[in-house]
Structure 1
Amino acid sequence: MGVQAGGGTGRSRSLWAGAAVLFWAVGFYGIADLLALAGGRGQMAAVAGLQASWGVLFTFIVSGAFLSIAARPLNPWPALVQLWTVAAALLLAAALTASADPLVVALILVPMTAATFFAGGGRPAPPRRKLEADGVLFLLALTGAPAWWGYAAAAVDRSLTAGAEDDYSWGLAHWPLQAALGLFMALIVLVMAFWPPGRPLQGSVCCASSLVLGAGWLLYPGSAGSVDSTAMSVLAMLWGTAVFFCRFRGTGRGEPAGRPAAAGGPVPPGLRAARSVRGPGISRPVARASGRG
C-alpha cells in the first residue's frame, strides 16, 4: 500500500511539475527570450541583455527546478530549496526596486510550488538535514557574490531611473526581474556551500545560467541589461564552469555500493547484512540471505 501511495503521489507531483515547466518556459516566455539571443537584430538587439536575464531566470532556474521535480517527484527537496531561494530573491528585489513586478511573479510562483509539493495528498520523505560546509564552494560563493551583487545593484539603479530603456513581458518590467536574478546567483552558491543534497541540481543551473549570460554579454555588449566588459563576461563563464565541476562535492557520489547510505535506502527484506569481497580489480558487495533452514 505504501508503494502504491508513493507511486500515485509521484505521478501527481510529476504532472503538476510538468505543467509548471510549460507555464514558465513557454507561457512566461522563458524559452522565447533565450531564442531571441540567437537572432536578435535591430530593435530586439537593444534589449538583448534584458531578454537573456529573463530567459535564464524562467527557463533554467525556475523551469529547471520544476523539471527536476517532474523527473524525481519523490525527492523534490533540492528543487524546492532552489525555488524558495528564487522567491526570496524576488521579494528582496521588489523591496529594493520599489516595484510590484517581482512581487507579482512571487505570488504566482509560491502557490504553484506549494501545489506541486502537496500534489496527490502525499508528502516526500524528509530531506537530509545535515549541513556540511565545503571550503571550495564557500570560496566560489565569496568570489562570485560581489560581481552578482553589482549586477543586481546596476539593475536596481536602472529600474529606479526614469526613462531608462526597458523591455516588458506580460506587462512586467525586466529590470526588477534582472535584479532578482543577480540576487539569486549571489545566494544559491552560498546555499550549495552548506547543503550538499542541492549541489548537483544547483551547480548545473548556475553553470548553464552563467554560460548563457556571459555569451549574451559578449554578443550584445552595448544592449540594455548587458555587462559591457569582455573580461567580466569570460570570468562569469569560468566561474559558472568551476561551480559545475564542484557540484558533487560532499554528496557521497562514488562511495562503495555496500554502504546503505550510499545505496540510497534500507537493506531489502531477506538481506541481513553485506560484506565486501575485494580482489585484484574487484570490489563488489556480497549479501548474506536471512532465511530459515
Structure 2
Amino acid sequence: MAVALALAACVLMMGVIDLLTLPGWVDQQYEWEVPLEASWGALFTFLVAGAHLWVAVRPHTPWPAFLQLGICAVSLLAGAVAGADWRLLPVALGVVVSALVLWWLLGRPPIPSGQRPQVRPDLLAVAAAGLLLWVPYAGFALERSRAGVLGSVTQGVEHWPVQGATGLALVLGSFALALWATGRPLLRAAVSLSAVYIGMAELAYPDREGAMGSVVWGTGVTLWGLLVALLAVPRTRETTDLTGLTPPREHERSS
C-alpha cells in the first residue's frame, strides 16, 4: 500500500513529471513554467512520496514518515487558506487519509515515548536562516494565488498555492529535523533535495512563472539545501536509534 501511495503521488499527482521539466525531459513544444513545476514536483515527490516510501522500507519505524506527511498536510491547508484557493483542501485531505490508512495497516503503532531531546543548535540556526529564504518565497506565491494569476494547473489544482505550501513545508521540516533526531534521516533527504531542486530551477529559468527572479535567492536556496544535507548527517553521539526509543545505558545492558 505504501508503494502504491508513493506511485500515486509521483504519477497521478505528476510529482516526477513536474521534476522532469528542469532537465527538459518533457514535450518541448510547450514552454514549461519550470520553477512553478519544480515546487509542485518537490512537494509530491520528495516530501509526500518520500514519506510513503519510508514506510515501505521501514515499516517498524513509521513515525518520521507520519510527521513528514503531517507537515505536508498542514502546509497544504495553510496554502489553501492563505492562497484563497479551496481546491487545495481535497489534496490536503488526501495526504491525511494516506497517513491514517498506513497507520491503521501497521497496527496503529503508538507515538514513540521515552526519548531524550537531541536538539542540534547548528541545525536550528540553519532552519532560522531558512526563514529569510522561504517566507518571501511562500508569500510571493500565495499573493499570486489570491490575485488569481494563472500559473499552471495539475489535476484541477493551481500551482501557486502549492508553491506557497512547499515553502512552508520546508520551513517546518527544517525545524523538525533540528529538534528530533529520529526523524532526521528522512527529513534531511526530503528538505535538502527539495531546496536544491527549487534553487536549480530558479537559476536555470529565472524569467519564468514561479521564479523569484533573483540569482542571489536561487544561489542562497541551493546552498541552504546543501548545508542541510551536510550538517544533518547523524553524529556518533546521537545514540537514538531508528525505533525512536533511547537505547539502554551500559549498566542496563549488563543487568
Q: What is the TM-score normalised by the length of structure 1? A: 0.77
Pick one of 113, 117, 136 that aligns with 1:150. Answer: 136
Counterpart of 2:22 in 1: which secondary structure? helix
The equivalent residue for 2:36 is: 50
Pick one of 86, 89, 104 that aligns with 2:72. Answer: 86
* Cα distance in 1 between the residues matched to 2:64 and 2:139: 27
Alignment pair present for 1:31 and 2:13 = no
Contact 1:192-1:199 at 8 Å conserved across structures = yes
* Cα distance in 1 between the residues matched to 2:137 and 2:127: 15
Instruction: Give the partner amino acid of 1:44.
Output: E
Moved over 6 A (4+): none
Contact 1:128-1:197 at 8 Å conserved across structures = no
1:128 Cα deviation from its structure 2 partner: 5.4
Pick one of 78, 82, 105 that aligns with 1:96. Answer: 82
The equivalent residue for 1:21 is: 6
The unaligned stretches of length 5 or more in structure 1 are 1-15, 275-293
Instruction: Give the partner amino acid of 1:43.
Output: Y
Counterpart of 1:102 in 2: which secondary structure? helix
The equivalent residue for 1:111 is: 97
Distance 1:144 1:120, change over 3 A: closer
Which structure has more strand as a fraction of its residues? Answer: 1
What's the RMSD between the two structures over aligned residues? Answer: 2.4
Pick one of 136, 151, 154 that aligns with 2:122. Answer: 136
Residues 164-222 of structure 1: per-residue CA shift (max 9 Å, x gap)? 23101111100011110011111111112221111111011111111111111111111
% identical equivalent positions: 33
* Cα distance in 2 between the residues matched to 1:60 and 1:128: 29
Alignment pair present for 1:273 and 2:248 = no
Instruction: Give the partner amino acid of 2:30.
Output: Q
* Cα distance in 2 between the residues matched to 1:127 and 1:24: 30
Distance 1:108 1:133, change over 3 A: same
* Cα distance in 1 between the residues matched to 2:104 and 2:91: 20
* Cα distance in 2 between the residues matched to 1:225 and 1:75: 36
* Cα distance in 1 between the residues matched to 2:239 and 2:178: 20
The equivalent residue for 1:232 is: 217
Question: Relative to structure 2, which stretch is displaced further, 243-252 or 23-32?
Answer: 243-252
**Residue correspondence of structure 1 range 112-261 to structure 2 within 5 A:** 112-123=98-109, 126=112, 129-162=115-148, 164-249=149-234, 252=237
* Cα distance in 2 between the residues matched to 1:202 and 1:30: 18
* Cα distance in 2 between the residues matched to 1:251 and 1:78: 20
Contact 1:138-1:193 at 8 Å conserved across structures = yes
Contact 1:185-1:206 at 8 Å conserved across structures = yes
* Cα distance in 2 between the residues matched to 1:186 and 1:146: 10
Q: Which has the larger radius of gyration?
A: 1
Instruction: Give the partner amino acid of 2:53.
Output: L
Distance 1:200 1:121, change over 3 A: closer
1:18 Cα deviation from its structure 2 partner: 0.9
Distance 1:148 1:125, change over 3 A: closer
Q: Which structure is higher in RCO with an 8 Å CA cutoff and minimum separation 6? A: 2
